[in-house]
Amino acid sequence: MKGSVFGRGFLGTRIAEELGYDLPDIDVLDIKALRAYLDREKPEVVINTVGKTGRPNIDWCETHREETIMGNVATAMILGSICSEKGIYFVHFSSGCVYQGDNGGRGYSEDDEPNNYTNVYTRTKIYSEKMLMDLPCLQIRPRMPVDERPSERNFIDKVKKYTKLIDEQNSMTCVPDLLQALKMLIEKKALGVYNLVNPGTISAAEIMRMYKQIVDTNHGFEVITAEQLDKMTLAKRSNCMLNTSKLENEGIMLPDIHDAVRQCLLRYKENLGK
């Protein structure tokens, strides 16, 4: 299938390489250029990984509200509407951070209303997700992507820079598993919202304990509480657990998050030297 990925960032680059899709250098807000590209290239699948995710982290979104809304909501609206009009299968990257909490231990399923309105970034993800529910598209919700390749956006690289970490349980996504699941969902031409996280939960501190064992025995950090972290950040961070039954009911079985992170760390160590 001929496909195009918009958003030449961390996930977009990985997806375009894995699926062999085009990765055009187009500002999605430039509707004329976008239409010209789609009319010329005629992709059957468009994946939207465009976004303002904040550098070095989502605190940036709190102080750059207009850019965040344009980058996360307007771009999704433009790409979703034009793909729908042209009959192109559209895949949008939402986020599992639309939730806060563990839903009484069950994890949040795709039918549960998002409940994390605590910061600008997650609000834009909720608004774009809701808007796209009126169009035929697949929306996937990854969370805290852990990858086998070093990169500033890889959760491993993000947290290894911090000397203070929380030990709260969270749903997370290993990128190699995300790529396989995404391929399967596209082959099925699945529609609707899917939580795309590995089963089980893990904490940032647990990952760094594994990192210390596998990658760097000298690595050190201190564990702090979620309340202490809240006082150190502009945007309140979400800790949440997502339910993965919908993905499993499609026959897409991802490895448990602990096994998946271990595999990522082993390959991450090999890739560090390259």
Ligand X SMILES: NC(=O)c1ccc[n+]([C@@H]2O[C@H](COP(=O)([O-])OP(=O)(O)OC[C@H]3O[C@@H](n4cnc5c(N)ncnc54)[C@H](OP(=O)(O)O)[C@@H]3O)[C@@H](O)[C@H]2O)c1
Residue 157: CB minimum distance to ligand X, A = 11
Strand, helix or coil for residue 19: helix
Number of residues located near ligand X, criterion CB under 6 A: 25
Residue 150: CB minimum distance to ligand X, A = 14
**Do 93 and 48 touch, CB atoms closer than 8 A?**
yes
Instruction: Fill in the per-residue mask, 8 to 37: x = in contact with ligand X (CB under 6 A), - = not in contact.
Output: xxxxx--------------xxx--------
Residue nearest to ligand X (CB): 9
Residue 96: CB minimum distance to ligand X, A = 6
State how far the alpha carbon of 98 is from the alpha carbons of 4, 39, 141, 146, 186, in Å.
Answer: 26, 34, 9, 18, 23
Residue 10: CB minimum distance to ligand X, A = 4
Which is closer to ligand X, CB of 53 or CB of 89? 53
Which is closer to ligand X, CB of 74 or CB of 224? 74
Q: Rounded CA gap, 261 and 69, in Å?
A: 32
Which is closer to ligand X, CB of 185 or CB of 220? 185
- 145 touching ligand X, by CB under 6 A: yes
Which is closer to ligand X, CB of 122 or CB of 217? 122
Q: Which of residues 46-85 bind ligand X (CB under 6 A)?
A: 49-53, 71, 75
Residue 217: CB minimum distance to ligand X, A = 27
Q: Rounded CA gap, 56 and 54, in Å?
A: 6
Total Cβ atoms within 10 A of residue 242 = 31
Instruction: Find the farthest-apart pair of alpha carbons in the chain and give their distance in angstroms, rounded.
Output: 55
Helices (H), 20-135: 31-41, 59-63, 65-69, 75-86, 120-132
Tokens encoding 252:
């897409």
Q: Which of 90, 93, 108, 194 binds ligand X (CB under 6 A)?
A: 93
Q: Please give the sequence-ordered ranges of beta strands (E in DSSP) within 104-220, or none if there are none.
A: 138-141, 164-166, 192-195
* Per-residue DSSP letter, 58: T
Instruction: Fill in the per-residue mask, 103 to 132: x = in contact with ligand X (CB under 6 A), - = not in contact.
Output: ----------------------x-------
Site residues for ligand X per CB under 6 A: 6-12, 27-29, 49-53, 71, 75, 93, 95, 125, 142-145, 153
